[in-house]
């Protein structure tokens, strides 16, 4: 997930509208790399699911243990870590605790919020 910290003055409608516009633009500028296509059989590229920006919608938050073999943890990353060699299974509970000790909590700035949504 890509999380963008924003001020707490926007409702679900505005954040959904913004996420949809950004997602569709990124998909149109990066065909085959980014998509908004929901159906897996039609999907090529990384899904930007703007539909999760709405009332009652949920996502796996940072530091959530995922229901997969080895119980990997949803871990905040820095942009330079997003490489083809990235192996999400290495983010075990023990590894993530060590990572937080070494790097600090990379999710903390998201909790502060603060950005305004630009007009589109």
| DSSP sequence for 54-113 | STT---PPTTPBPSSTT--B-----GGG-STT--GGG--HHHHHHHHHHH--TTHHHHH-
- In the predicted structure, residue 120 carries a pLDDT above the cut 90: no
Residue 119 lies in a domain: no
Among left, alpha and beta (phi > 0; psi -120 to 50; other), residue 86 is beta
pTM: 0.74
Distance CA 98, CA 18 (A): 36
Distance CA 15, CA 89 (A): 31
- In the listed set 59, 84, 99, which residue is the last one of a domain according to the structure? 59
Residue 120 lies in a domain: no
Structural domain including 64 reads 60-114
Give residue 39's pLDDT band: very low, low, confident or very high (50, 70, 90). very high
pLDDT (tens digit per residue) in 76-103: 999 999 999 999 999 999 999 999 999 9
| Residue 47 contacts residue 38 (beta carbons within 8 Å) | yes
Q: What pLDDT is stored for residue 32 in this prediction?
A: 93
Instruction: Examine the domain organization and report whether 73 and 107 are in the same domain.
Output: yes
pLDDT (tens digit per residue) in 18-35: 999 999 999 999 999 999
Q: What pLDDT is stored for residue 40 in this prediction?
A: 92
| Residue 113 contacts residue 15 (beta carbons within 8 Å) | no
Residue 87 lies in a domain: yes
pLDDT (tens digit per residue) in 47-83: 999 998 888 888 888 999 999 999 999 999 999 999 9
């Amino acid at each position: 997930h890509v999380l963008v910290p924003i001020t707490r003055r926007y409702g679900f409608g505005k954040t959904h509208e913004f996420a949809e516009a950004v997602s569709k633009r990124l998909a149109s500028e990066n065909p085959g790399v980014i998509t908004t296509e929901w159906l897996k059989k039609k999907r090529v590229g990384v899904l930007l699911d703007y539909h999760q920006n709405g009332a009652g919608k949920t996502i796996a938050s940072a530091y959530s243990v995922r229901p997969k073999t080895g119980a990997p943890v949803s871990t905040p990353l820095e942009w330079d870590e997003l490489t083809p060699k990235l192996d999400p299974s290495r983010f075990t509970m023990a590894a993530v605790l060590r990572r937080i000790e070494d790097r600090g909590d990379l999710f903390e700035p998201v909790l502060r919020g603060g950005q305004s949504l630009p007009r589109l």
